[in-house]
Amino acid sequence: MMRLTLPRALLVAAGALLLAYAFAIAPTTSGGPEDRRTEPVANAEPRVVAESAPSPSPVPAVAVFPPDDKAFVGVMTEKGPHDFAALDTFTAAAAHQPQVMLFSSGWATDEFDRTLFDRISSRGMLPMLGWEPWDYRVDQQARKQKTLPARQVDRIRSNQPAYRLSRIANGDFDSYLRSWADGIRSLGYPVAIRFAHEMNGDWYPWCEKANGNRPGDYVKAWRHVHDLFQAAGATNVTWVWSPNARWNKSTGHLADYYPGDDYVDWVGATGYYGTGVFTNYWSFDEIFGPTMTELGRFTSKPMVITETGASDASGRKAEWIRETFRTLPRHRNIIGLIWFEVDKELDWRIASSPAVAAAFAQSVADPRYRFSWSPEMRPRLDVGHP
């Protein structure tokens, strides 16, 4: 048996230390990635982060159009975005930049044209398309016959079987509709569409009381157009349903023509002082009151006066304008008014006289109407709630 001398004992101890180093320490400090272990070391102190990550910035709220306690003032001219001369005259007379421009387009002749929408939006106005399923040239030809009574003109222009509501609902115009849906989606900013307005009358081909249409056809046609736009991804549309202001029982029950809250964003109404049954002086509330009362029975959607104007046949045009703008704030559900700045049959323009222009300018100088539209704003969908 070998004796364990002091030198040999030192040699054995050194060997043991080398073995301990090889099996315990060396694997943690050398070798390739496959040799680096991920197990936590016992009793290891947690890693201290020198600087905490910055808190995320709050997302800014999207502005609503129109803002709280505001109402917009819009305009419709004869040539719309094709020629801004009348718009410039209106803006100067009103001393006010309108926030909305309404313009018409007929299905028989008009294809989607991005330029028209861009011209309006670049002027700081929400484009509102008055989309009309008919051939408006029939109306133009009838009006040229000066001897024809007005009701005869209505019967001629409303008789267009090619544009019956059932044909729209059945998909006969779907390729045309898709071209517009794709175009409007590509704009990338909000657009309002007032489709087939004044449906409760009998003077357009899309009225249920004309053109061989049947009860219920209007709602079917509206929903078909709306659903096609939704399917195409054109969700930047504010849908504006706009009957004519009621004046007697012959204008029908508005609820019969209403597509439903799921298909409508704003409700509207058309009404003028100085024509038809409103030839004598009727105040704003007398013209629009019955319609607003009836609308309130089946919807609480925001309301827009989508077409209005006043003639000066009895010399009270300026008075009607002042009274109208004093009245509007009492109707919290009304979020806007569009003035018909056209000399057609009667001169509805505020530029018709200095006194009328002054009355309008003084009325819209109220802070309630002073704000700007921008493409980043989203439409107000509830009255009094952003």
User: For residue 274, what pLDDT is reported?
Assistant: 87
User: For residue 1, what pLDDT is reported?
Assistant: 44
Domains annotated on the chain, with CATH: 70-379 (3.20.20.80)
User: For residue 108, what pLDDT is reported?
Assistant: 97
C-alpha 268/C-alpha 302 separation (Å) is: 8
Most confident of the following: 10-24, 276-290, 333-347: 333-347
Range of weakest confidence among 38-52, 92-106, 124-138, 207-221: 38-52
Range of weakest confidence among 37-41, 60-64, 222-226, 350-354: 37-41
Query: What's the pLDDT band for 278 if we cut at 50, 70, 90?
Result: low
User: For residue 50, what pLDDT is reported?
Assistant: 46
Query: What's the pLDDT band for 58 if we cut at 50, 70, 90?
Result: low
Query: What's the pLDDT band for 21 if we cut at 50, 70, 90?
Result: very low
Averaged pLDDT, 370-378: 97
Write out pLDDT tens, residues 150-173: 889 999 999 999 999 999 999 999
Write out pLDDT tens, residues 192-247: 999 999 999 999 999 999 999 999 999 999 999 999 999 999 999 999 999 999 87
User: For residue 280, what pLDDT is reported?
Assistant: 79
Write out pLDDT tens, residues 280-328: 789 999 999 999 999 999 999 999 999 999 999 889 999 999 999 999 9
User: For residue 48, what pLDDT is reported?
Assistant: 44
Is residue 266 scored above 70 in pLDDT? yes
